Amino acid sequence: MERTMPRDYYEILGVPRNATKEDIKKAFRGLARRYHPDVSSEPDAEARFKEINEAYTVLSDDNKRAAYDRFGHAGVNGAGAGGFSGGFSGGFPGFEEIFEEFFGGFGGGSRRRRNGPTQGRDLRYDLTIDFNQSVFGAEVDIEVPRRETCDVCHGSGAAPGTTPRRCSDCNGTGQVRQVRQSFLGSMVNVTDCPRCHGTGEIVDTPCSECNGQRTVQKVRKLTVTIPAGVDDGTQIRLGGEGEPGQRGGPAGDLYVVLRVTPHEFFKRRESDIILEVSINVAQAALGDSIAVPTVDGDEEVVVPAGTQSGKVIRLRGKGVPKLRRDGSSAGRGDQLLVLTVEVPSKLTKEQRDLFEQLGRTLGKEVIPQKQGRGFLDRVSDFFGGV
């Protein structure tokens, strides 16, 4: 049996391969009006509409379109999955967009607000910590301003001793429906009830504490546990610490976004800490034992004789804890010590005499260096490979 090859998406929409997103959207709108099964009398309307929707799903998405342009249908295999199930709930991305633009929404859509439990809003709190706190973790007390359920009316919005009554305009549903005629037939537009503002209830005697708003502004004191190894931009979620839900819905969450202040000497690269240290020419030539700072305190480090600028010494386990997704630690990174040989710009008479003696023993021969990779390239290779 001969296999039928799928049609080209650009051909389906009737647009050239260099069409803009606006051209693609315009073409889809015109074809959708013509072939939608609810309004079209074409015998193959359902199959054509599925084909049109699949083409639009791919070509309206930059990543999918790039994959299709390069590999054809094989690059976007399954992009049109979902199928048509009738009415306006068949899962057609883009077709809902047309109705939202022309009619402001339609019945049954997922964007419609329902008169049921609604989760409260999530909140964000920016918390600044220092470098050491990001390395070792900490517990920090914060104060978060947020809306909380009124203690006087317990969230009803009505004064004590009274209760809200059902809104007669929407019969307690919180929504009103309007039927409009369009080129696709009768359309049902669902909006929040203007009288009760979508709550389904009317408060005749508002609570004096919250003025009928059901919530009051308060400051919540919380302790945030910061795990060791966090970095700038890390988010910590505190479940249920956002604003309260409506109509019995759960509270939202609080997201604490960490900002780490830079350290005076240490620089972080993933789980490693980089520290640049200057040594003098005598230490570089003869070698030495030096004390260098780490986040754990000073550490004795041996500088080998003949050290050149840019030499990197690795101090194992002196870096940042490696933070897992569950907040636990998986060992620590390293501290990378970058040595710079500093040439003195001012010398005492004694130092100059000693350098002149040394210079006579070393000679004055100048040795040209062959073209090759420089110091910065070698340092970049080292850091890129750890």
Structure-token match 């329902």, residue found: 114
pLDDT band for 24, please (50, 70, 90 cuts).
very high
Nearest CA to 93 out of 65, 57, 59, 52 is that of: 57
3-state SS, residue 335: strand
Distance CA 212, CA 197 (A): 13
Greater model confidence, 154 or 108: 154
For residue 97, the model assigns a pLDDT of 47
Of the listed ranges 91-95, 134-138, 148-152, 360-364, the least confidently predicted one is: 91-95
115-130 pLDDT, tens digit each: 567 788 888 999 999 9
For residue 243, the model assigns a pLDDT of 85
Residue 183: is its pLDDT beyond 60? no
Give alpha helix (H) positions in the chain: 9-13, 21-35, 45-59, 62-71, 95-103, 131-136, 281-286, 349-362, 375-385
Of the listed ranges 13-17, 114-118, 156-160, the least confidently predicted one is: 114-118
For residue 110, the model assigns a pLDDT of 34
Greater model confidence, 317 or 178: 317
Residue 359: is its pLDDT beyond 50? yes
Residue 89: is its pLDDT beyond 50? no
Mean pLDDT of the chain: 80
For residue 132, the model assigns a pLDDT of 92
For residue 148, the model assigns a pLDDT of 86
CB 222 within 8 A of CB 144: yes
28-84 pLDDT, tens digit each: 988 888 887 766 778 888 888 888 988 998 999 888 898 888 777 777 764 443 333
Residue 92: is its pLDDT beyond 50? no
Beta strands in the chain (DSSP E): 123-129, 138-149, 165-166, 175-182, 185-192, 201-202, 215-226, 235-238, 254-260, 267-269, 272-280, 288-294, 297-303, 312-315, 321-323, 329-332, 335-342
**Phi, then psi, of 218 in degrees rounded to 5:** -140, 170
Residue 307: is its pLDDT beyond 70? yes
For residue 327, the model assigns a pLDDT of 61
Question: What b/e string do you get for 10-36 counting C-beta neighbours within 10 Å, with b at 16 or more?
Answer: bebbebeeebeeeebbebbbebbeebb
**Phi, then psi, of 97 in degrees rounded to 5:** -60, -35
Nearest CA to 179 out of 187, 168, 169, 170 is that of: 187
pLDDT band for 101, please (50, 70, 90 cuts).
very low
Q: Name the range with the highest mean pLDDT among 68-82, 105-119, 261-275, 318-332.
A: 261-275
Mean pLDDT of 287-300: 91
Q: Pairing mode, if any, of strands 297-303 and 288-294?
A: antiparallel
Angle, to 10 degrees, between the axis of helix 21-35 and the axis of helix 45-59?
170
Q: Which long-range contacts (CB under 8 A, 24 or more apart) does 6-14 make?
A: 6/73, 7/51, 9/54, 9/55, 9/58, 9/59, 9/68, 10/55, 10/59, 12/51, 12/52, 12/54, 12/55, 13/52, 13/55, 13/56, 13/59
The string of DSSP codes covering 277-305 is EEEEHHHHHH-EEEEEEETTEEEEEEEPT
Greater model confidence, 193 or 116: 193
Beta bridge partners of 142: 222
Nearest CA to 36 out of 98, 112, 79, 82 is that of: 98
For residue 355, the model assigns a pLDDT of 84
Q: Pairing mode, if any, of strands 272-280 and 335-342?
A: parallel
Q: How many CB atoms lie within 10 A of CB 92?
A: 23
For residue 133, the model assigns a pLDDT of 93
Q: Which long-range contacts (CB under 8 A, 24 or more apart) does 378-384 make?
A: 378/310, 379/310, 379/312, 379/338, 382/312, 383/269, 383/274, 383/336
Greater model confidence, 33 or 237: 237
Greater model confidence, 319 or 370: 319
Q: Name the range with the highest mean pLDDT among 34-48, 80-94, 267-281.
A: 267-281
Mean pLDDT of 98-102: 46
Q: What share of the chain in percent tops pLDDT 90? A: 26
Please name the residues in contact with 346: beta carbons below 8 A apart, sequence gap of 6 or more: none
